[in-house]
Each structure stands twice: as C-alpha cells, then as structure tokens.
Amino acid sequence: MNNSALPRALNDLVEAFGALPGVGARTAERYSYAVLKGDKQKSAKLAAALSGLHGRIKLCPKTFALIDADLDISPLYTDRQRNRQLVAVVEEPFDVVALENTGQFKGTYHVLGGAISPIDGVGPEQLHIPELIRRLRDDDVAEVILATNASVEGESTALYIQKQIEDSGYFCGANDVIASNAKQPSLDRRGDELPRDDKHPIKITRLARGLPIGVDLEYADQITLSHALNGRREL
C-alpha cells in the first residue's frame, strides 16, 4: 500500500488504517487525508484514544464483556435491576451493545469470545463455555438465551453449548424437556469436573429468526423462509 508520491508519515497512517478489517486502500487514503486536513486537536484526541485503548479496557471476569479497567465487574451484571437468572449468550462484546440498544432485554450477558470454527482454528476450549456452566449454578439461572449468530459457526456453537448444559446434569430445553443423565462429566480448563445440580431446571431458548421488516417474500432466501415458517405464531 506504500505510495512513493506521499510523505512517509502519511504513508504510515494509510498503512495503519489499511490494516483494519473492511478498510481497503482507497478508504485508508481517504481516512488519512481527512485526519491530515482536520483540526490538530482532533488528531491529538484520536491519537490519545488509540494510545490508551488497551490500558483502559479489560474483560469482566464474570461476563467477559468489555469494561473499564478500574471496574471489578460489569455494571450490566452488578445492576440490581438486572435479572441474573436470565442470561443471553453472545459471541462478541459488541453483540451486547446490539441487544442493549433494543431496550428490551433486562437480563445479564455472557460473552463467549467467538464461535466454534475449525477452519479458523477456533475450538470450544478457546471459548468461555466452562465459565457459563458455572454461572448456571452460581446465579441460579432459569433461562439461557443462545444469541449466537445465525451462521454455520453460530449454530454449531449453540448446539455445543446446549449439549454441555445437558451433560452438566441440568434439566434443559426450550419446551422444558428433561435432559438425560450425563454420560460423561463436563470438565473445566484445568480438567476438573464442573459442578452439577440434577434438580436445577433451566430453559434453553434461541433468538427467533425469520423475515425482516420490509422484505418481500420473493426476495427472501430459502433458509430465512424455512425459519420463518417453523417459527410462525398463531394470531
């Protein structure tokens, strides 16, 4: 991306912007020129924000959401108005933002840190699944909402988590189905057996999927239509 027609400092900025996901060469050049033309104070503010980014943010040890470095636990967990018995499981921290923006969810969150994707070298052991199983007991969880993405990886991750909850010895299922006794105990990252409670009822649900508002049937793909048909409701 290095351009000999540009000063080295500007080239360095173009390369830095170009390293961001979804930013091509032309977009990186536009961003860089916009910074150069802009107010120096704005450039200094941007530089300060980038410089202090990693040092001022950490992961919540309970929910694994992003929090300020001076906090111990996410406010979305410690808030007394939140229902800790309702947990939405999401793939990434910004999925929390998406659900919060709806203003409809009053439970807590659990961020996996990704989705199972063998092709990308991401296995279940790299996700925060054992910590989720522990929360089922610690917070007396009544419902787990599997809010992973509607992708192959998201579906695989949701099915894996469902099986882990079943194998942990909890009752589970969207229709209060009783899981069979676990054939093998679930283990945490240290190889220790995770806690079990064979009398703890947990409902597992998945985010509804179907036709988005404003889309004609003829333009909907087959998978979306199938989910819409299966998830139809009586009026």
Domain shared by 97 and 41, yes or no: no
pLDDT for 174:
44
Please check whether residues 45 and 146 belong to one and the same domain: no
Q: How many domains does the chain have?
A: 2
Tokens in use for 18? 């170009």
Q: Three-state SS for 59?
A: strand
Q: For residues 104 and 219, give the distance between their C-alpha atoms in angstroms, rounded to a whole number.
A: 29
Answer positive or negative: Cα dihedral of 122, 151, 98, 232.
negative
Residues 76 and 192 in one domain: yes
pLDDT band at 231; cut points 50, 70, 90: confident
Q: Is the pLDDT of residue 108 over 90?
A: yes
Q: Does residue 80 fall inside a structural domain?
A: yes
User: Is there a single domain that holds both residue 108 and residue 202?
Assistant: yes
Q: Is residue 153 part of a domain?
A: yes
- pTM (predicted TM-score): 0.79
- Computed over every residue of the chain, the mean pLDDT equals 85
Classify 198 as helix, strand or coil. Answer: coil
| pLDDT, tens digit, 9 for 90 and up, residues 110-130 | 999 999 999 999 999 999 999
Would you say 63 and 111 are in contact if contact means Cβ atoms under 8 Å apart? yes
What does the pLDDT read at residue 15? 94
- Block residue for tokens 């194998």: 167
Model pLDDT for residues 203-226, shown as the tens digit of each residue: 999 988 887 888 788 888 787 888
pLDDT in tens, 141-196: 999 999 999 888 999 999 999 999 988 876 554 444 333 333 444 555 555 555 54
User: What percent of the chain shows pLDDT beyond 90?
Assistant: 68
CATH number, position 16: 1.10.8.420
Q: Which amino acid is at 75?
A: P
Q: How many CB atoms lie within 10 A of CB 17?
A: 20
Structural domain of residue 126, as residue ranges?
70-209
